[in-house]
């Protein structure tokens, strides 16, 4: 007990100090680990509804936010970690914001977004009761080496999970994980209705490896399937009630597009597994429709009476889906590409993305560390680029000044998005984005 209290005091002091100097979430976690290596296990050990880990290549932040909203709407007290702290030490820093001196958290359940590799490190300290595994795609290969390695990380996390796992039935890397799980772990799936399966396959073709040996799991009664009604409205269907009363929707969220709908389907499927008979479809609809997009993930900012959308892109699958979602309606567009550590150093993945949807209007400006590389890549696809400005703030100033009276959109990698979002927050009184980029 004394060691835990000492760790809490030391960690809170480090947390205050790092915030005062504008640092990230690594140092407080490191301090706590040095003082009490069992701190995280102690803090999360006795939550009545357990610990849920959300991980995968794309959609972690959005799906976690949706799942938290669903559970809170059903009356649960939920502890979660903010964006930017999805490494183990970042989780510790988040815990420090809510933990008592005795090392306990006043919550019913923890829902944690975790980086694929660090989810496994976390599981060595705290065994998750549930895991929601979203997808495997080419992402930051200079960190994770290859797609099969990322799939291995997710499989090993699932093997550490004690009660239930929700898997993506449309991703062969994720769906096949069921065969490796302990017999007492309950498994269900989320995915898309067969009516849009072909469209999903076309979008993801460049990043999902052809696997002739893979047999997609049959749909069971507890599986949630996405059924779009149009480009904004959709249902999440469940087959265990023939009258359709288990279905969630129709609904229309504030975040647009197929990717957001898939994330909502994943979150709804996990919420239903966790809540069981207490899950209420009408409550779920209200919760999802009220969720604000996480910053940079399709977030819409009012800039002098016009919409500016920030769209995070970090790999071929994500950029392809983003272009499908946002690229169809021509608006003034900017692309900001950095190659810092949190973005991934290797940006050759841009050549796996088809930018044809941007030809009609062209791109007003490219920016970031790889501004000229991005302009060259767009030229290969016949997309006109009118300006190249590597410095992000100058690029933003030009972009806003030249298009004051029309909607605008910026596709950006992670650190470019963080920098642009901070500048916009200073100018337009936006909510704080919280922790710095992951350590």
108: CATH: 3.40.1190.10
Walk across the sheet containing 130-133 and list its strands. 78-80, 109-113, 51-55, 130-133, 164-168, 186-192, 224-228, 233-237, 248-252
Residues 392 and 363 in one domain: yes
Ramachandran angles phi, psi of 272, nearest 5°: -65, -40
Give percent of the chain above pLDDT 90: 45
Are 236 and 142 found together in one domain? yes
Residue 214 CA, chain-centre distance (Å), reads 26
Q: Is residue 415 part of a domain?
A: yes
pLDDT at 207: 46
Least confident residue range of 234-243, 270-279, 346-355, 394-403 = 234-243
* Per-residue pLDDT at 330 exceeds 90: no
The CATH number of residue 301's host domain is 3.90.190.20
Asked if residue 435 belongs to a domain, the reply is no
* pLDDT of 87 strictly over 80: no
pLDDT (mean) for 32-59:
86
> Is residue 437 situated within a structural domain?
no
48-57, 197-206, 366-375, 415-424: segment of lowest average pLDDT:
197-206
User: For residues 62, 152, 121 and 85, what is the CA-based torsion angle, rounded to 10 degrees?
Assistant: -20
Compare 141 and 5 and report the one with higher pLDDT. Answer: 5
Q: Which of 167-181, 193-207, 282-296, 386-400 has the lowest mean pLDDT?
A: 193-207
pLDDT at 15 over 80: no
Q: Are residues 281 and 306 in the same domain?
A: no
Segment holding 282, helix H or strand E: helix 281-290
Note whether 49 and 166 are same-domain residues. Answer: yes
**Tens-digit pLDDT profile for residues 91-106:** 887 887 777 777 778 8
pLDDT band of residue 208 (cuts 50, 70, 90) is very low
Taking 60 as the threshold, does the pLDDT of residue 435 lie above it? no
Do 21 and 73 belong to one domain? yes
In a domain, 247, yes or no: yes
Q: For position 325, what pLDDT does the model report?
A: 67
Q: How far apart are the first and last CA of the chain?
A: 29
Residues 222 and 194 occupy one common structural domain: yes
pLDDT tier at 439, thresholds 50, 70, 90: very low
Chain-wide mean pLDDT for the chain? Answer: 84
Ordered DSSP codes for 3-25: HHHHHHHHHHHHHHHHHHTT--S
- β partners of residue 248: 236
Residue 412 has pLDDT above 90, yes or no: yes
The mean pLDDT of 402-407, rounded to a whole number, is 88
Same domain, 54 and 150: yes
Residues 273 and 227 in one domain: yes
Residue (of 348, 293, 301) closest to 322 by Cα position: 293
Residue 319 placed within a domain: yes
User: How would residue 426 be classed by pLDDT, with cut points 50, 70 and 90?
Assistant: confident
What is the set of active-site residues?
A: 346
Which residue among 290, 308, 341 closes a domain?
Answer: 290
**Structure-model confidence comparison of residues 164 and 34, the more confident one:** 164
Tokens at residue 333, please?
């567009």
The whole-angstrom separation of Cα 350 and Cα 355 is 9
Q: What is the pLDDT of residue 339?
A: 92
Question: What tens digit of pLDDT does each residue of 112-167 get?
Answer: 999 888 888 889 889 999 999 999 876 544 444 567 888 899 999 999 999 999 99
**Domain extent for 303:** 297-428
| 221 and 334 part of one domain | no
Choose from 18-22, 85-89, 172-176, 254-258 the range with maximum mean pLDDT. Answer: 172-176
Phi first, then psi, for residue 332 (nearest 5°) are: -65, 125
Q: Which of 290, 306, 327 is the last residue of a domain?
A: 290
Whole-Å CA distances, 331 to 165, 244, 328, 354? 40, 39, 9, 18
Q: Is residue 433 part of a domain?
A: no
The total number of structural domains that make up the chain:
2
CB 109 within 8 A of CB 51: yes
Residues 198 and 346 in one domain: no
Can you tell me which residue has the tokens 């880990």? 53
Please check the confidence at residue 63 and state whether its pLDDT lies above 60: yes
| Same domain for 348 and 239 | no
Distance in angstroms (rounded) separating the CA atoms of residues 73 and 243: 24
CA distance 156 to 325: 33
What is the model's pLDDT at position 25?
59
Range in 14-23, 70-79, 217-226, 327-336 with the lowest mean pLDDT: 14-23
pLDDT tens-digit map of 300-313 = 788 888 888 888 88
Query: CA angle, corner 271, sides to 268 and 275, nearest 5?
Result: 140
**Residue 360, in any domain of the structure:** yes
Angstrom distance (rounded) from CA 7 to CA 31: 8
Distance, CA of 78 to CA of 69 (rounded, Å): 9
59 belongs to a structural domain: yes
What distance in Å separates the CA atoms of residue 113 and residue 80, rounded to the nearest whole number?
A: 8
3-class SS of residue 285: helix
Q: Which residue has the higher pLDDT, 182 or 391?
A: 391
DSSP 168: E
Residue that finishes a domain, picked among 274, 290, 306: 290
CA-based max dimension of the chain: 65
- Whether residues 253 and 312 fall in one domain: no
């Amino acid at each position: 007990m004394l060691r835990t209290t000492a760790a809490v005091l030391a960690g809170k002091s480090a947390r205050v100090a790092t915030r005062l100097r504008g640092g990230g979430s690594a140092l407080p976690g490191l301090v706590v680990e040095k003082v009490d290596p069992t701190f995280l296990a102690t803090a999360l050990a006795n939550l009545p509804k357990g610990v849920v880990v959300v991980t995968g290549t794309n959609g972690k932040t959005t799906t976690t936010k949706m799942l938290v909203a669903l559970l809170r709407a059903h009356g649960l007290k939920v502890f979660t970690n903010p964006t930017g702290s999805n490494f183990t030490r970042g989780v510790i820093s988040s815990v420090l914001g809510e933990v008592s001196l005795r090392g306990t958290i006043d919550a019913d359940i923890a829902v944690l977004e975790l980086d694929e590799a660090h989810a496994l490190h976390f599981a060595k300290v705290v065994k998750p009761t549930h895991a929601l595994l979203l997808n495997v795609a080419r992402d930051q290969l200079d960190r994770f080496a290859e797609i099969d390695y990322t799939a291995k990380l997710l499989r090993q996390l699932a093997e550490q999970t004690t009660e239930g796992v929700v898997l993506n039935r449309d991703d062969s890397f994720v769906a096949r994980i069921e065969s490796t799980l302990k017999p007492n772990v309950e498994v269900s799936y989320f995915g898309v209705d067969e009516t849009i399966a072909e469209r999903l396959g076309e979008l993801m073709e460049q990043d999902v490896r052809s696997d002739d040996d893979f047999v997609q799991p049959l749909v069971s009664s507890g599986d949630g399937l996405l059924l779009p009604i149009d480009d904004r409205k959709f249902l999440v269907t469940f087959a265990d009630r023939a009258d359709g009363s288990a279905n969630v929707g129709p609904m229309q969220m504030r975040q647009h597009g197929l990717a957001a709908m898939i994330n909502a389907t994943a979150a709804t499927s996990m919420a239903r597994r966790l809540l069981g008979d207490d899950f209420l479809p009408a409550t779920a609809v209200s919760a999802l429709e009220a969720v604000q997009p996480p910053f940079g993930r399709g977030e819409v900012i009012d800039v002098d009476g016009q919409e500016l959308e920030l769209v995070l892109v970090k790999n071929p699958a994500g950029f392809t889906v983003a272009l499908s979602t946002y690229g169809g309606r021509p608006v003034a567009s900017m692309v900001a590409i950095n190659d810092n550590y949190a973005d991934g150093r290797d940006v050759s993945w841009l050549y796996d993305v088809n930018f044809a949807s941007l030809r009609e209007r062209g791109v007003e400006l490219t920016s970031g560390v790889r501004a000229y590389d991005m302009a060259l890549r767009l030229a290969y696809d016949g997309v006109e680029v009118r300006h190249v400005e590597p410095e992000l703030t100058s690029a933003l100033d030009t972009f806003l000044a030249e298009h004051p009276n029309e909607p605008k959109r910026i596709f950006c990698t992670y650190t470019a998005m963080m920098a642009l979002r901070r500048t916009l927050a200073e100018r337009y009184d936006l909510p704080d984005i919280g922790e710095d980029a992951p350590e």
